[in-house]
A and B are shown apart, each in its own frame.
Chain A
Amino acid sequence: MAQNQRPTTFLDSFGEEIIRILTPVSICMFLVVLLVSILNSNSSASVTSIATIAYSETSSDSSWDKFLGALLNSLAFVAVVTVATFILVLLFYLRCTKFLKIYMGFSSFVVLGFMGGEIALFFIEEFSVPIDCISYLVVLFNFAVVGVLAVFMSKMAILVTQGYLVLIGMFVAYWFTLLPEWTTWVLLVVMALYDLAAVLLPVGPLRLLVELAMSRDEDIPALVYEARPVTHHDSGSGENTVRRRVWRERRNVRHDSEDNSNLDGNVVSDSNSTVVAVQHCHNGSIIARVEEGQVSEGNAELSAPLIDHRMNGQDGMSTESLVLEGMGLGSSGAIKLGLGDFIFYSVLVGRAAMYDFMTVYACYLAIVAGLGITLMLLAFYQKALPALPVSIALGVLFYFLTRFLLEVFIVQCSLNLVMF
């Protein structure tokens, strides 16, 4: 029998980078949905945080009141985020990089330790797990410290780092889903709009930050998820090796809302801004910046994703800066994604899970579609693009369409056992 000696087509590895970033996003969303469906019995646990200072929702208010209240909440939240981002820009301008790094580490510790600990407490309550205080504290402390080390000291196995980043995103997202319903939806929409403004407007803080970082040729300490890079096989001329340097800056958004007794209702919130700068220079001046954890993976033989062929058109030393919210291209083709995107996508899906699973599936597909569209737009426009708005818009749209249109239709058909 004739055997297949023919060479493999490029279809074997085409689109691999996209899948490498889709997988952790899907895992994070899945974990948040799981958490929400397991722990949702205590719906009365409302969170007082900076997102509810203007108005706390009660089910007895009218729809218009709820909407107005939610809007006020969201605007307050976005205002705080904007101020914090500007402070960040200022600090970066004054070169307080060490302070920023330490602050990042501290915020990761708080997220993993306090938020993670609170969620673990929910679990212990729900399932009556027999564990004593001392062991619990020891385990939690170790868990949090390893997480901080994994995220900031980059010598760990990349799987551990990626796992911890997904966990951080999951914890923050779960906390956001504890907000009241109207506030969550309006907050998502307002954050998407803020993102659009912060990245595209010339006075936007994220744009300023990236331009600053690029003009100084520096890195910004940030919480970034990096997918494993795809190996390059330099078929063809050296023109194909496009060195790209990506960094993104991301600050974690969180609320310190638990332990009100200690913090006295004191809320700390940082701006959640993700910025990715892609700088690519020609082959002549390769920026020798080895990103950690570059492991040659698999048998990917393609030299570049579809996006690459457009970038090859740039000539000389012109640095093309692509500031993309939540998405970027690392050197050797790995995609980096900011943690804020993980968080807000998971919040949307988690909130959809509180209604029904049909909305979860619909919103998941919508968000993935939004991600794909953003990548395509990036390849097409070659300029700064935020990744949050498209996905959030599609997700919210699909949620409401599914909730009000699809569900009735499907239930009608299914209960009569009539399907097509």
Chain B
Amino acid sequence: MTVAAGIGYALVALGPSLTLFVSVISKKPFLILTLLSSTLVWLISLIILSGIWRAFLPLNSKTWWPLAILIFTSVAFQEGLRLLFWKVYKRLEDILDAFADRVSKPRLYLTDKMQIALAGGLGHGVAHAVFFCLSLLTPAFGPATYFVDRCSQIPFFLVSAIIALAFVTVHTFSMVIAFNGYSEGNKVDQVFVPSVHLAAGMMTLINFASGGCIIGIPLLFLMAILTLMHCGRMVWRRLTENQRQGNS
């Protein structure tokens, strides 16, 4: 429904990411590069998944369990890729530290590492929002709108934008949690991220039932808030620990 509505939907999905980008990421060029490479990596993961599943599509839209299998395999694949991403980042961190030594500058601080993790997570979130929501928004710029049967109270574009917003939050901050968990060896964090991702994915299955989106979407946002809180707590703890270490 007109350009204004189209832009509105896009901003619902990507508004907070845009704010994060402008305030944190655009200040340091390296973070922009991290964001772009992270988005690319997750795009490649989506392409590989679609390649694997191409033979089975289009799925029968009456039963829900093929979709459950699809979500399960996709989440498993993406979490495996996250582990790989962490390993590559570890090596990059060593190169960066060596470079810092060579130009006689201080090594990366904890906040720098967290910012890199944030940029990586934002890349993941942006990839999700762009491909699942933004690329389908083209008709929304025209004069009409579209409703799906399963969730007939609000337009399809708005529903997908809201879901994309929740997922952007989940992805952005789980990357911070995950990197921290891997670097500290904290088992809780390491398990937290895949389980939240899987739970969020499964919750969208509730949307599959007719009228289910009324329950599904608030639950999804509950997951997003949970991720945010856990991340905030963890970051606070680490920063105060670090400061105490630095002062002592």
Chain A at the B interface: SS class = helix
* Interface 1/0 per residue, A9-20 and B, CB below 8 Å: 111111110110
The reply to whether B30 and A416 form a contact with Cβ atoms under 8 Å apart is no
Q: Which of B58, B78, B109 contacts A420 (CB 8 A)?
A: B78
Given contacts A357-B138, A358-B135, contact A9 B103 (CB under 8 A): no
The verdict on B233 contacting chain A, using a C-beta distance below 8 Å, is: no
CA distance A270 to B27 in the complex (A): 41
CA distance A18 to B247 in the complex (A): 37
The verdict on A302 contacting chain B, using a C-beta distance below 8 Å, is: yes
- B27, B28, B104: residue with the most chain A Cβ atoms closer than 10 Å: B28
Given contacts A10-B100, A18-B33, A368-B36, contact A420 B74 (CB under 8 A): yes
Q: Which of A54-62, A63-71, A166-174, A404-412 contacts B (4 or more CB under 8 A)?
A: A404-412
Q: List 15 A-B residue pairs with CB atoms under 8 Å apart, sorted by A's residue number.
A: A7-B105, A10-B105, A15-B33, A236-B104, A303-B103, A309-B102, A358-B136, A361-B134, A369-B40, A372-B37, A410-B132, A410-B135, A417-B207, A419-B132, A419-B201
Given contacts A362-B43, A406-B50, contact A7 B33 (CB under 8 A): no
* Interface 1/0 per residue, A339-379 and B, CB below 8 Å: 00000000000000000111001100110110010000000
* Interface 1/0 per residue, B41-53 and A, CB below 8 Å: 0010011011101
The reply to whether B99 and A306 form a contact with Cβ atoms under 8 Å apart is yes
Closest chain A CB from B165 CB (angstroms): 12
- Inside 8 A of B96's CB, which chain A residues have their CB? 11, 14
- Inside 8 A of B53's CB, which chain A residues have their CB? 409
- Inside 8 A of A419's CB, which chain B residues have their CB? 128, 132, 160, 163-164, 167, 201, 204
Interface size of B as a range: 35 or more
- Inside 8 A of B132's CB, which chain A residues have their CB? 410, 413-414, 419
The reply to whether A11 and B148 form a contact with Cβ atoms under 8 Å apart is no
The reply to whether A405 and B102 form a contact with Cβ atoms under 8 Å apart is no
The reply to whether A356 and B204 form a contact with Cβ atoms under 8 Å apart is no
The verdict on A133 contacting chain B, using a C-beta distance below 8 Å, is: no
The reply to whether B57 and A15 form a contact with Cβ atoms under 8 Å apart is no
Given contacts A9-B112, A13-B29, A369-B40, contact A405 B67 (CB under 8 A): no
Q: Which of A6, A11, A365, A415 contacts B39 (CB 8 A)?
A: A365
Smallest CB gap from B207: residue in A: A417
The reply to whether A405 and B29 form a contact with Cβ atoms under 8 Å apart is no
* Interface 1/0 per residue, B130-148 and A, CB below 8 Å: 1111111110000000001
Given contacts A357-B135, A408-B57, contact A11 B36 (CB under 8 A): no
- Inside 8 A of B78's CB, which chain A residues have their CB? 420
The verdict on A418 contacting chain B, using a C-beta distance below 8 Å, is: yes
Using CB atoms and an 8 Å cutoff, list the residues of chain A in contact with chain B: 2, 6-7, 9-16, 18-19, 22, 235-236, 302-303, 306, 309, 356-358, 361-362, 365-366, 368-369, 372, 398, 401-402, 405-406, 408-420
Closest chain A CB from B34 CB (angstroms): 9
Q: Which of A15, A303, A418 contacts B29 (CB 8 A)?
A: A15
Closest chain A CB from B133 CB (angstroms): 8
- B39, B75, B167: residue with the most chain A Cβ atoms closer than 10 Å: B39
The reply to whether A14 and B136 form a contact with Cβ atoms under 8 Å apart is no
- Inside 8 A of A309's CB, which chain B residues have their CB? 102
The reply to whether B70 and A413 form a contact with Cβ atoms under 8 Å apart is yes
- Inside 8 A of A410's CB, which chain B residues have their CB? 46, 50, 131-132, 135-136
CA distance A415 to B58 in the complex (A): 12
CA distance A419 to B107 in the complex (A): 39
- Inside 8 A of B43's CB, which chain A residues have their CB? 361-362, 365, 398
CA distance A418 to B132 in the complex (A): 10
15 further A-B contacts with Cβ under 8 Å, apart from A365-B40, A417-B204, are A6-B106, A12-B28, A16-B29, A22-B32, A235-B103, A365-B43, A369-B36, A405-B54, A408-B57, A410-B50, A411-B136, A416-B150, A417-B151, A418-B204, A419-B204
- Inside 8 A of A416's CB, which chain B residues have their CB? 61, 67, 150, 207-208
Q: Which of A7, A22, A406 contacts B106 (CB 8 A)?
A: A7
CA distance A410 to B45 in the complex (A): 13
The verdict on B159 contacting chain A, using a C-beta distance below 8 Å, is: yes
The reply to whether B100 and A356 form a contact with Cβ atoms under 8 Å apart is no
A-contacting residues, B184-229, CB 8 Å: 197, 200-201, 204-205, 207-208, 213, 216
The reply to whether B40 and A414 form a contact with Cβ atoms under 8 Å apart is no
Closest chain A CB from B84 CB (angstroms): 17
Smallest CB gap from B163: residue in A: A419
The reply to whether B57 and A409 form a contact with Cβ atoms under 8 Å apart is yes
- Inside 8 A of B159's CB, which chain A residues have their CB? 417
- Inside 8 A of B247's CB, which chain A residues have their CB? 2
The reply to whether B67 and A408 form a contact with Cβ atoms under 8 Å apart is no
CA distance A221 to B192 in the complex (A): 59
Smallest CB gap from B201: residue in A: A420
CA distance A309 to B101 in the complex (A): 13
- Inside 8 A of A7's CB, which chain B residues have their CB? 105-106
The verdict on B243 contacting chain A, using a C-beta distance below 8 Å, is: yes
The reply to whether B100 and A9 form a contact with Cβ atoms under 8 Å apart is yes
The verdict on B235 contacting chain A, using a C-beta distance below 8 Å, is: no
The verdict on B71 contacting chain A, using a C-beta distance below 8 Å, is: yes
CA distance A144 to B201 in the complex (A): 54
Smallest CB gap from A357: residue in B: B135
CA distance A19 to B30 in the complex (A): 8
Q: Which of A2, A366, A369 contacts B37 (CB 8 A)?
A: A369
CA distance A3 to B44 in the complex (A): 42
The verdict on B24 contacting chain A, using a C-beta distance below 8 Å, is: no
The reply to whether A414 and B160 form a contact with Cβ atoms under 8 Å apart is yes
Smallest CB gap from A408: residue in B: B57
- Inside 8 A of B36's CB, which chain A residues have their CB? 365, 368-369
The verdict on B108 contacting chain A, using a C-beta distance below 8 Å, is: yes
Closest chain B CB from A135 CB (angstroms): 28
